[in-house]
Amino acid sequence: MVDSLLAAGLNVAAIAHALAAAGFNAVSVTADTPLFARSIATLASTFGQQQLLTVGASSVSSPDAVRAAAAAGARFVSSTEARAEVVAAAAALGITSLPGVRGAADAASALDMGATALKLFPAASVGAGALRGIRGLGGVMEHVPVIAAGGLEPESLQSLIDAGASGFAIGSTLYRGGDSPRDVARRAALFAAAAAASAPLPLLPL
């Protein structure tokens, strides 16, 4: 999302402040953009030091991208699928990796790789049933953080909360091309209200 805002010439600092005010606790920059490292560094120096938002990187698919993100100040990386080399690179640098999983088998494989948190993706497609399947494995799967991401709308959150979501990552449904900072702030408030309706949960624009 941050990349789209920069490309549109919008005030990223104002957007980030609005997200923090709405209850979001993290922001990420996608790794497949020329603005990737610079954007992370800018956000980390402003918001990371103030502990307003944890800054990370999304769509991370290689150890090189993990290292670039960490060097710029990222504290977490997320991926659309589980890759052992990405999980290992993040662990070596002391940052959190959120590998993408679609269900119980993927989740078990990701934990075998050393992951300590998971990203259910695309959550809007695989649905709450996939998350219930993960939690249903028992043991560590009952407690490992699972962030739901991909195509979510405010009304999508409750079923995932009921299924055991630890938090949510919101991307294209939070910022759409042409949106103003006020539009983003308004939509962020809707997501925050939906997440807080059951229990306060982390919200990350990823």
Return the CATH number at 26.
3.20.20.70
pLDDT tens string 175-188: 776 677 788 889 99
| pLDDT surpassing 90 at residue 137 | yes
Angle at the Cα of 129 (from 127 to 135), degrees rounded to 5? Answer: 120
Single-letter code of the amino acid located at 99: P
Other CB atoms within 10 A of residue 190 CB: 15
Counting runs of H as helices and runs of E as strands, what totals does the chain give? 9, 9
Q: Residue 178: which domain range?
A: 2-204
Angle at the Cα of 80 (from 164 to 99), degrees rounded to 5? Answer: 60
Give the count of domains, the chain: 1
pLDDT tens string 14-33: 777 888 888 888 888 889 87
pLDDT tens string 52-101: 789 999 999 999 999 999 999 999 999 999 999 999 999 999 999 999 99
> What is the pLDDT averaged over residues 110-135?
97
| pLDDT surpassing 70 at residue 201 | no
pLDDT on residue 171: 85
Contact criterion met (CB below 8 Å) for 147 and 168: yes
Cis link prior to 154 (omega < 30° from 0)? Answer: no
